[in-house]
Amino acid sequence: MPRLTIDGKVVDVREGAYVLEAARKAGVEIPALCNHEALEPWGGCRLCMVDVTFEHWDGWYKAVAACLYPVAEGLIVETRTERVTNARKVVLDLLLARCPDTPLIQRLAEEHGITQTSFARNPEQTDCILCGLCTRVCDHLGISAISMVDRGIGREVAPPFKEPPPDCIGCLACAEICPTDHIDYTSTHSRREIWGKSFEMLRCKTCGKAHITVAQADFFADRNGVPRSYFETCDDCKRKAHADIFERLGTGP
């Protein structure tokens, strides 16, 4: 287990972890926008910059993205140096220029002493910070219905041809992981709409709750070889059914 020092705190962390995880274990907060524990780190937002060094580096420091920098024995991490703070400020200043009306960005910027961007405000309103969490979670699920489209200032998250995505199953993983709630959807007892596509809902046989889309049930039944009947009841009711069985066993003769 590598032992490292983060802002003077000594912490042991599992082999193969990245600095961000170690910092969380040490109780040191590092802001991070494009990181999610369920996904591979990506290093896209650059908000998690920290300084790292080793005893034998003779006072040299290197600025790295904490979410992508592997831990090592004897690593010394500084998260509050002037250089680190300045790097974060630049990132937040730019993000605030892109998303001036997005509460999450406003809050983070304010925490770093920025109330107004020093760049020109983006004339096109958007809450998307291009963190890539939505497209990566979609890939991770093996669906890949949406992706990053175009480049430069035109870059955006979109389905192929910017039309309702054929591969989308309406799981809402993208909308739920989005840190800024940029992805719109509606979901009722009967239908769900996302990315311009409309889905029929599957209702729980026991409680009637619309728990997943028919397309989701079909997809997972087909891909994971789960019997289609598995999806007829919702997770809550399944849990309840199991609990009932255990209760009966527990109070049995």
Partner 1 sequence: MAELSPCTDMAPVDDILGTYPREEASLIQVLQDVQRVYNYLPCEALTRVSEVLGVPLAKVFSVSTFYKAFSIEPQGRVTVKVCMGTACHIRGAPQLVDELTRTLGIAPGETSEDLEFTLKTVNCVGACAMAPVMIVGDAYHGNAMPAKVSSYLGKKGVTDEN
Binding site for ligand SF4 (CB under 6 A): 128-134, 157, 177-180, 182-183
Residue found by looking up tokens 């940029």 in the block: 182
Considering only the stretches 51-59, 160-168, 197-205, 221-229, report the one whose residues sit in contact with partner 1 under the rule CB under 8 A: 160-168
Strands 76-78 and 3-6: parallel
Is residue 215 within 8 A of residue 187, CB to CB? The reply is no
Q: How far is the CB of 88 from partner 1 (least distance, A)?
A: 28
Cα-to-chain-centroid distance, residue 210 = 25
Residue numbers 16-75 binding ligand FES by CB under 6 A: 32-35, 43-48, 65, 67
Q: Looking at 94, 160, 210, 240, which residue binds partner 1 (CB under 8 A)?
A: 160
175 binds partner 1 (CB under 8 A): no
Q: How far is the CB of 45 from ligand FES (least distance, A)?
A: 3
- The number of residues in the chain equals 253
Is residue 67 within 8 A of residue 34, CB to CB? The reply is yes
How many whole angstroms separate alpha carbon 219 and alpha carbon 56? 54
Per partner kind, with CB cut-offs from 5 to 8 A, the member of ligand FES, partner 1, ligand SF4, none near residue 47 is ligand FES
Is residue 172 within 8 A of residue 187, CB to CB? The reply is yes
Nearer to ligand FES, 48 or 137 (CB): 48
Q: Which residues of 194-229 are buried (b: 16+ CB within 10 A; e: fewer)?
A: bbebebebbbbeeeebbbbbebbbebbeeeeeeeee
Strand order in the sheet with 197-203: 185-187, 191-194, 197-203, 210-213
Residue numbers 130-149 binding partner 1 by CB under 8 A: 135, 138, 143-149
Nearer to ligand FES, 16 or 225 (CB): 16
The contact mask relative to partner 1 for 35-54 (x = CB under 8 A, - = no) is: --------------------
Interface residues with ligand FES (CB under 6 A) are 32-35, 43-48, 65, 67
Interface residues with partner 1 (CB under 8 A) are 135, 138, 143-151, 159-161, 165-167
